[in-house]
């Protein structure tokens, strides 16, 4: 617990969530859930400052990506704006041995895993597959087929058990990221069933950002999403996804339960997608401005900044320095994205199958002939 004031320990109100930092930047000492678990964090001043740095950096890099897309330098971008705390809190809660399975929006978790932030840009610029070494960083490739990564994670977690790497406090745990919309996919149901009955070391981390493209939450569920876990026989917990401290505490506890043999947990990180679904989407067509405004007041960064200021953990100089460093990182990223070499068009056919296929070979040949037909024509 940081120095200074705090609100005393509290229980989660009905329909509420675990919150350790209010939107005004007040610390709640600890929160106890209905099953008697108490959540709290005990960070040093330096650790609080580092969390703030993470939040600002991932937002700044995301802003740069949105700008690059608007300038025609990326084909598409899926912004994480508003979801920084859910991603940094859970990403920093992972221990080095834990394996993460992301969607296409987990740029903040990717950053926390120590992956060079340039990595996904090849994918979004269309010049490579956006590949990083999933095993080295314990962070799988981005997955666009909604919900499918929950099954990949489930199989991986069953493998962790088979390898005997679970059942102890230093065991391995797995985390699967997905959205509110993904909970309507059959795959997610299957992942919950298999993980439940095999008591697998997995945490299902749902970022409920209130929308699946234009479909609001009420088109996905009649009950709060975290309550679905009960039907599969494992605990579900809702956390304030705009609160980096609560997200960290809840994810850390769930991962530690998983690694020590207590099976899965479903975490619903209650948050909001402040931007468009992707750069191809116009959210003004399906949601009203006042809703977006009401979530601005719950911003994950400003509440941590308010806390750091009130508790005298950081001063103006620190905030300026964090902004300057994040700006520099964003500008470096921009330069490196612009310098990414364009692949030969025929490379489109590489990597479709690991060992090739006659059909792809035929398509490549046809494409090569087509390209050659332009040679010398000035096109
Ligand atoms: C199987 C499948 N169906 C449909 C799509 C098209 N699609 C892309 S994103 C998306 C919505 C996902 O919403 P959610 O799970 O809430 O994640 P969010 O984008 O909000 O992070 C859909 C339907 C897809 N990629 N895969
Ligand atoms: Mg969503």
The alpha carbon of 215 and the centre of ligand 1 are apart by a number of angstroms equal to 10
Ligand 1 site, residue 263, Cβ cutoff 6 A: no
Please give the distance of CA 139 from its chain centroid, rounded to a whole number. Answer: 11
Residue 130's pLDDT is 77
CATH number at residue 137: 3.40.50.970
What pLDDT does residue 129 have?
A: 78
Is any atom of ligand 1 closer than 6 Å to the C-beta of 209? yes
Active site residues: 273, 277, 286
Q: 250 with 205: CB under 8 angstroms?
A: no
Question: Which pLDDT tens digit goes with each residue over 27-83?
Answer: 999 999 988 999 999 999 999 999 999 999 999 999 999 999 999 999 999 999 999
Does some domain include residue 355?
no
pLDDT at 363: 96
Q: Is 277 in the pocket of ligand 1 (CB under 6 A)?
A: yes
Q: Is residue 378 part of a domain?
A: no
Cα–Cα distances in angstroms (integers) from residue 185 to residues 99, 182, 207, 246, 376, in the given order: 22, 5, 15, 27, 51
- Determine, yes or no, domain membership for 374: no
Q: Which atom of ligand 1 is nearest to the CA of 208?
A: 16
Specify if 353 maps to a domain. no
213 lines ligand 1 (CB under 6 A): yes
Lowest mean pLDDT of 7-21, 76-90, 160-174, name the range.
7-21
Atom number of ligand 1 nearest to Cα 103: 21
Nearest residue by C-alpha to atom 13 in ligand 1:
212
Say if ligand 1 is within 6 A of residue 81 CB: no
The predicted pLDDT at position 34 comes to 85
**Looking at the predicted structure, is the pLDDT value of residue 4 above 80?**
no
Q: CB neighbours of 250 closer than 8 A, spacing ≥ 6? A: 18, 39, 237, 239, 267
Question: 84-88, 126-130, 249-253: lowest mean pLDDT where?
Answer: 126-130
Average pLDDT value for the chain: 94
Q: Is the CB of 181 under 6 A from ligand 1?
A: yes
pLDDT at 8: 61
At residue 7 the predicted structure's pLDDT band, cuts being 50, 70 and 90, is: low
Helix (H) or strand (E) segment spanning residue 207:
strand 202-208
What pLDDT was estimated at residue 378?
59
Residue 47 sits in which domain range? Answer: 10-338
Residue 343: inside a domain, yes or no? no
Query: How many whole angstroms separate alpha carbon 241 and alpha carbon 206?
Result: 10
**C-alpha span between 143 and 176 (Å, rounded):** 11
Tell me which residue has its CA closest to atom 21 in ligand 1.
Answer: 179
Query: Across residues 315-333, what is the average pLDDT?
Result: 98
199 closest CA partner among 166, 226, 246 = 166
**What global pTM score does this model have?**
0.94
Q: Is 151 in the pocket of ligand 1 (CB under 6 A)?
A: no
Distance 209 CA to ligand 1 centre (A): 12
The closest residue, in CA terms, to atom 20 on ligand 1 is 212
Task: Return the residue whose CA atom lies nearest to atom 3 of ligand 1.
Answer: 146
Evaluate whether residue 365 is within a structural domain: no
CA distance 34 to 311: 30
Distance between Cα 211 and ligand 1 center (Å): 9
Query: What integer pLDDT is reported at residue 276 of this predicted model?
Result: 97
Per-residue pLDDT band for 379 (boundaries 50, 70, 90) equals low
Number of domains the chain is built from: 1
359 in a structural domain: no
Residues 124 and 280: their CA atoms lie apart, in Å, by 12
C-alpha 144 – ligand 1 centre gap (Å): 7
Centre of ligand 2 from the C-alpha of residue 280, in Å: 15
Give the pLDDT confidence of 125-139 residue by residue, as tens digits.
999 877 799 999 999
pLDDT of residue 377: 66
Mean pLDDT of 311-328: 98
Beta carbon of 303 within 6 Å of any ligand 1 atom: no
> What are 180-229's pLDDT values in tens digits?
999 999 999 999 999 999 999 999 999 999 999 999 999 999 999 999 99
Least distant ligand from the CA of 183: 1
**pLDDT for the residue 247:** 98
For residue 369, what pLDDT is reported? Answer: 96
With b for 16 or more beta-carbon neighbours within 10 A and e for fewer, the 26-45 pattern comes to: bbbebbebeeebebbbeeee
- Alpha helices, DSSP H, located in the chain: 45-70, 84-93, 107-112, 121-125, 134-137, 148-162, 186-197, 244-257, 289-296, 300-310, 316-338, 358-372
Report yes or no on 352 lying in a domain: no
- Find the 182 Cα to ligand 1 centroid distance in Å: 6
**pLDDT tier at 12 (50, 70, 90 boundaries)?**
confident
306 pLDDT more than 50: yes
Can you give the pLDDT at residue 10?
76
More confident residue, 96 or 10: 96
Pick the atom of ligand 1 nearest to 178's CA: 15
* pLDDT at residue 11 greater than cutoff 80: no
pLDDT band at 15 (very low <50, low <70, confident <90, very high): confident
The predicted model gives 104-130 an average pLDDT of 95
């Amino acid at each position: 617990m940081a120095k200074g004031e705090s609100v005393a320990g509290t229980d989660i109100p009905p329909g509420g969530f675990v919150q350790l930092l209010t939107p005004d930047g007040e610390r709640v000492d600890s929160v106890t859930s209905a099953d008697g678990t108490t959540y709290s964090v005990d960070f040093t001043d330096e650790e609080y400052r580092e969390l703030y740095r993470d939040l600002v950096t991932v937002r700044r890099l995301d802003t740069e990506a949105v700008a690059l897309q608007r300038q025609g330098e990326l084909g598409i971008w899926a912004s994480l704006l508003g979801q920084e705390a859910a991603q940094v809190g859970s990403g920093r809660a992972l221990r080095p041995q834990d394996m993460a399975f992301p969607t296409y929006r987990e740029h903040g978790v990717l950053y926390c895993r120590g992956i060079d932030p340039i990595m996904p840009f090849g994918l979004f610029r269309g010049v490579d597959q956006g590949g990083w070494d999933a095993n080295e960083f314990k962070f799988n490739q981005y997955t666009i087929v909604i919900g499918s990564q929950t099954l990949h994670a489930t199989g991986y977690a069953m493998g962790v058990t088979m390898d005997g790497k679970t059942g102890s406090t230093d065991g391995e745990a797995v985390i699967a990221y997905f959205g509110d919309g993904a909970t309507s996919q059959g795959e997610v149901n299957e992942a919950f069933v298999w993980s439940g009955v095999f008591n697998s070391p997995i945490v299902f981390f749902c970022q409920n950002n209130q929308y699946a493209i234009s479909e609001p939450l009420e088109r996905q569920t009649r009950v709060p999403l975290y309550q679905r876990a009960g039907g599969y026989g494992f605990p579900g917990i809702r956390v304030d996804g705009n609160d980096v401290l609560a997200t960290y505490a809840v994810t850390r506890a769930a991962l530690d339960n998983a690694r020590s043999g207590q099976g899965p947990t479903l975490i619903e990180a209650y948050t909001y997608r402040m931007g468009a679904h992707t750069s191809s989407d116009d959210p003004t067509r399906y949601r009203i401005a006042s809703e977006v405004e009401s979530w601005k007041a719950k911003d994950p960064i400003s509440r941590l900044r308010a806390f750091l200021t009130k508790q005298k953990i950081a001063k103006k100089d620190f905030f300026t320095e964090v902004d300057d460093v994040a700006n520099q990182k964003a500008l470096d990223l921009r330069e490196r994205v612009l310098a990414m070499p364009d692949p030969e068009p025929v490379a489109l056919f590489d990597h479709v199958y690991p060992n090739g296929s006659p059909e792809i070979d035929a398509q490549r040949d046809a494409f090569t002939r087509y390209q050659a037909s332009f040679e010398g024509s000035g096109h």
